[in-house]
C-alpha cells in the first residue's frame, strides 16, 4: 500500500510497510519546489539545465519535510551502471560525486538520495542488520541486474540475509508506456531467458517491457521475499512526476530518499 504525505506544499509517497517500521523514506513528486518550467518545480538535478541554487533549495525543502539535516546527504553520479557502493559518512559536496547507481549505508547519520525521471527507484531495508539502500535502474541497470548486485553487496559487506530484506519499487515509467525497439527487447529476452515472456508484451507491432516486474523477479531470484510495488506510471501521471519520455526530454528529475535516522 502507498501512503501519500503532504507537508509544506510538498507531496510525497511512502510505502506503508516501511512507514510502519519507522523508516524515513519518500518518493517526492514535482510539487512544492522553486524551479521554473520545464523543471517546475521540485527538480533535484543540476544536469538538466536548472540552476544549482534552485536545486539546493528544493533539496532543502525535501529534507525539511523529514526533519533531517541537509548535510547528512549522500548522492551519487548516476550513470546506468550496476555499480553499488557502501557509504558510511555524508558526501563531501565540494568534491565530485562518485559514479554509481546504488547506495548502501548502516549509518543513521547518512541520508541516501537519488534522482529519477522514468527510471525505476528501489529502496531496501534490513531490520536485522540495520542497513538501508537505494538503487537506480533504467532498462540498462535492469538488464545489468543492479538489483542482484545490491542484495549480494548487502550480504557480503553487512552480513544481511536476503530473506530479512524489505524492498520497495517506486514510481517509474510503467509497463503500459515503456515501449522499446528490438535492440532493447532482445537484451531482455537474453538476460531474463524463461522469464522474458512475463516481462515483454508484443501487440499490434508495439513491444513494451515491465521494468517493475523485471526488478521484482531479479530481487526474488536473489532471495528477497517482501517486495512492494507502487504501480505509479510517471508518463501517465506527469502532473505529479517528472517523465523524461512523457515530457520529451525537457524536464527535471524527482528525488527519492531513505535513512535509518530515528528508526
CB of 239 to Zn ion, least distance (A): 13
Q: Which is nearer to Zn ion, 133 or 246 (CB)?
A: 246
Site string for Zn ion, 223-262 (x = CB under 5 A): ----------x-xx--------------------------
Binding residues among 53-112 for Zn ion as defined by CB under 5 A: none
> Residue 173 Cβ, how far from Zn ion at the closest point, in Å?
7
Strand partners, 254: 116
By C-alpha distance, which of 197, 170, 198, 143 is closest to 256?
170
- The DSSP string of 180-217 is --HHHHHHHHHHHGGGHHHHEEEETTEEEE-HHHHHHH
Tell me if 45 sits within 8 A of 256, measured CB to CB.
no
Binding flag, residue 200, Zn ion (CB under 5 A): no
Q: CB–CB of 100/84 below 8 Å? A: yes
Choice from 16, 71, 176, 231 touching Zn ion (CB under 5 A): 176
From residue 136 to residue 175, the character string flagging contacts with Zn ion as x (rule: CB under 5 A) and all else as - is --------------------------------------x-
Strands annotated E in the chain: 2-7, 10-15, 24-28, 73-75, 84-86, 102-105, 111-116, 120-126, 131-137, 166-169, 200-203, 206-209, 226-229, 254-259
Using the minimum distance from each CB to Zn ion, give the nearer residue, 130 or 177.
Answer: 177
CB of 52 to Zn ion, least distance (A): 31
Residue 120, interface with Zn ion (CB under 5 A)? Answer: no
Q: Which is nearer to Zn ion, 148 or 213 (CB)?
A: 213
Q: List residues near Zn ion by CB under 5 A.
A: 174, 176-177, 233, 235-236
Amino acid at each position: 500500500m502507498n501512503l501519500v504525505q503532504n507537508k509544506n506544499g510538498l507531496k510525497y509517497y511512502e510505502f506503508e510497510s516501511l512507514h510502519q517500521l519507522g523508516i524515513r523514506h519518500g518518493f517526492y513528486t514535482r510539487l512544492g519546489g522553486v524551479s521554473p518550467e520545464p523543471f517546475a518545480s521540485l527538480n533535484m538535478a543540476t544536469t538538466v539545465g536548472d540552476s544549482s541554487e534552485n536545486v539546493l533549495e528544493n533539496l532543502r525543502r525535501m529534507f525539511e519535510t523529514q526533519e533531517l539535516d541537509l548535510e547528512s546527504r549522500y548522492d551519487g553520479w548516476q550513470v546506468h551502471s550496476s555499480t553499488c557502493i557502501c557509504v558510511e559518512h555524508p558526501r563531501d559536496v565540494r568534491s565530485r560525486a562518485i559514479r554509481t547507481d546504488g547506495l548502501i549505508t548502516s549509518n543513521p547519520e547518512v541520508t541516501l538520495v537519488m534522482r529519477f525521471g522514468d527510471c525505476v527507484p528501489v529502496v531496501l531495508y534490513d531490520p536485522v542488520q540495520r542497513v538501508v539502500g537505494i538503487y537506480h535502474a533504467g532498462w540498462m541497470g535492469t538488464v545489468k541486474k543492479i538489483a542482484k548486485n545490491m542484495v549480494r553487496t548487502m550480504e557480503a559487506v553487512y552480513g544481511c540475509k536476503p530473506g530479512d530484506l524489505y524492498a520497495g519499487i517506486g514510481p517509474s515509467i510503467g509497463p503500459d508506456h515503456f515501449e522499446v525497439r528490438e535492440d532493447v527487447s532482445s537484451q531482455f529476452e537474453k538476460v531474463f531467458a524463461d522469464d522474458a515472456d512475463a516481462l515483454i508484451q508484443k501487440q499490434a507491432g508495439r513491444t513494451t517491457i515491465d521494468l517493475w516486474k523485471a526488478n521484482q523477479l531479479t530481487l526474488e531470484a536473489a532471495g528477497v521475499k517482501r517486495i512492494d510495488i507502487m504501480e505509479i506510471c510517471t508518463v501517465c501521471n506527469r502532473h505529479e512526476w517528472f517523465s523524461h519520455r512523457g515530457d520529451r526530454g525537457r524536464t527535471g528529475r524527482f528525488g527519492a530518499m531513505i535513512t535509518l535516522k530515528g528508526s
